[in-house]
Structure 1
Amino acid sequence: MISRTAAPQLSPRPRRLAAAGLALAAALTLSACQISSPVTTDMNYDPADGVSVDAGDVAVRDLLVVSEGNGAAGVVSGLVVNNATEPADVTLAVNTEGQMVALSPTVSVAPGQSVRLDGASPEGSGTPVELPAVEASPGGIVTIVVQTSLGDADSGLAPVVLPQGPYGDLVSSTADSSS
């Protein structure tokens, strides 16, 4: 007669230890991704359509150009914030045919205050900073230099966007002017 015996069974404790070891190994393996990846919340980025330019204590946020491009006029949109303790006059300039051309008007910003470049304000409409002709097509870029009366300057590559959606009121399109 042949005696058959059952295979030895592991007690629940070694199974739990094996499962815990496997979970620990998986956690260590998966968390290693964080070692080689930067923490994205620590990275600077522009969370809007435009770009940021810092000229000393004067910061320009969401800087962009609204235009149909290809020689049409345009309006600069963005917010100038004066973080200095004294007033600042801000002049924007673009490179046109190899020469830097200052845009008008110059924007005056009180200390600790902000001014919109498109002329919109809570008190009513101001004067927008305008470009007489935007050579880039929508989707292209325009280099804009930000110069302050405090002696600081910097430049940014501002995107050109069509006067549609939230930018539809900033410039009149050729379709609007022909009707």
Structure 2
Amino acid sequence: MKRRFLAPAPARRPSTRRVTTVLAGVALALATTGCQVNSPVQTDVAYLPADGVPADVGQLALRDLALIGDGTGTVVVSGSAVNLGDQDMTVQIAAQADPNATAAPTGSEVQLGPREQVNLSTKGLQLSGVKTKPGGLVPVTVTSSTGGTTVVKVPVLAATDYYSTVTPAPTGS
């Protein structure tokens, strides 16, 4: 018995459509790979994921510190205060005096126990004499009885959206 060998079939040329599709895919991959070169990785960029600003004064940690008001004089202090220490502390918050103002601003204070965290907007902390409109920054002095004093530029925000319930306490008329 003789064995027959079949000659290989002639090679087919790939269709123009297939070549075009493959080349388009390669071009797309190369083009989109270059986007990362020109765009920084967002997790490498530091930012504050809050409306307010942070501040640390010794064992006192303030987070998302903001002033809620409309520029008519009285603002509510909003944010979170945490006593990281092992002893009681008194926290005083006051707006720095505006040289053009006729009356000096008033401040507020709150007591914090060891390892205590409070929501400042629920403590009724208010500052008067703040005429800065929403969108502006107000220099605020923060003093901790256990850690010293610092000045922080705090944003003024309008009492809208989720701040709509954060309003100054009514005054006795």
Mapped to 2, the partners of 1:91 and 1:172 lie a distance apart of 19
- Corresponding residue for residue 53 of structure 1: 55
Please, which of 103, 108, 111 is the counterpart of residue 104 of structure 1? Answer: 108
Alignment-derived partner of residue 78 in structure 2: 77
Q: Does 1:144 pair with 2:146?
A: no
Which of 19, 22, 25 pairs up with 1:23?
25
Residue 110 (structure 2) pairs with residue 114 (structure 1)? no
Deviations 1:128-172 (A, max 9, x none): 222121121223221223333343554433222233443334215
Contact 2:95-2:106 within 8 A present in 1 as well? yes
- 2:165 aligned residue: 168
Contact 1:53 1:59 survives alignment (8 Å): yes
Q: Secondary structure at the match of 1:104?
A: strand
Gaps of 5+ in 1: 1-8, 121-125
- In structure 1, C-alpha distance between the alignment counterparts of 2:150 and 2:37, rounded to whole Å: 34
% identity of equivalent residues: 32
Secondary structure of the residue aligned to 1:96 is coil
Cα distance change, pair 111–145 in 1 and its aligned pair in 2 (3 A): same
Give, in whole Å, the separation in 2 of the partners of 1:170 and 1:163: 7
Q: CA RMSD in A?
A: 3.6
Residues 1:11 and 1:138: Cα distance change in structure 2 (over 3 Å): closer
**Post-superposition offset of 1:86:** 4.8
Shift in Å at residue 25 of structure 1?
Answer: 4.1
Deviations 1:43-91 (A, max 9, x none): 3333333222233553322211122214x22221111123445554332
Contact 2:86–2:115, Cα closer than 8 Å, also in 1:
yes
Q: Unpaired runs of 5+ in structure 2?
A: 1-11
Please give the secondary structure, in 1, of the residue aligned with 2:40: coil
